[in-house]
Amino acid sequence: MYSTPSPMTLRAPNLLPAALLGLAALCGATAARADQALAASRNCMACHAVDRKLVGPAFKAVAARYAGQNMTDALAAKIVKGGAGAWGPVPMPANPQVSPAEAKALATWVLGLK
C-alpha cells in the first residue's frame, strides 16, 4: 500500500537560499527588460536609444548627467509634460499617453542605467 511520505522523510539539502537569489536576479533582469519594453511601447525609442544619441540623448547619457542627483520626479515630469533646452535645440514633446506611474518607472530605469 502506498503512503504519502512525511515532510521529514523528504528532507533534501536546503536549496531555498540559492533559489531565492536566482529568482531575485531574474526579477531584476526582467524589471530592466520590462522598463525598456515600456519605453518602446510608449514610443520613447523613436527618439532615444539606450547607448547612442538619436533625435534625443542616449538614455545612458541622461543617467550619467544626473548621476548622484535626486532627479526621478523631475525626469518623470519631463517625460509626461515635455521640455526644451536641456539637451539642445530639439524639444522633447509631451507624452500624455504615459501615466505618472509609468513615467516614474521609466525615469527610475533610465537613471539606473550605467
Cβ(89)–Cβ(112) below 8 Å: no
DSSP 56-104: S--HHHHHHHTTTS--HHHHHHHHHH-B-SSSSSSPBPP-TTS-HHHHH
Given this model, what pLDDT does residue 12 score?
Answer: 47
Distance CA 59, CA 40 (A): 13
Q: What is the mean pLDDT of residues 85-92?
A: 94
Nearest to 49 by CA among 41, 40, 99: 40
Contacts of 107 by beta carbon, 8 Å cutoff, 6+ apart: 71, 72, 73, 75, 76, 79
Given this model, what pLDDT does residue 22 score?
Answer: 44
What's domain 47-114's superfamily in CATH? Cytochrome c-like domain (1.10.760.10)
Given this model, what pLDDT does residue 2 score?
Answer: 55
Domain map of the chain by residue range?
A: 47-114
100 pLDDT tier (thresholds 50, 70, 90): very high
Residue type, 41: S
What's this model's pTM, rounded to 2 decimal places?
Answer: 0.71
Given this model, what pLDDT does residue 23 score?
Answer: 40
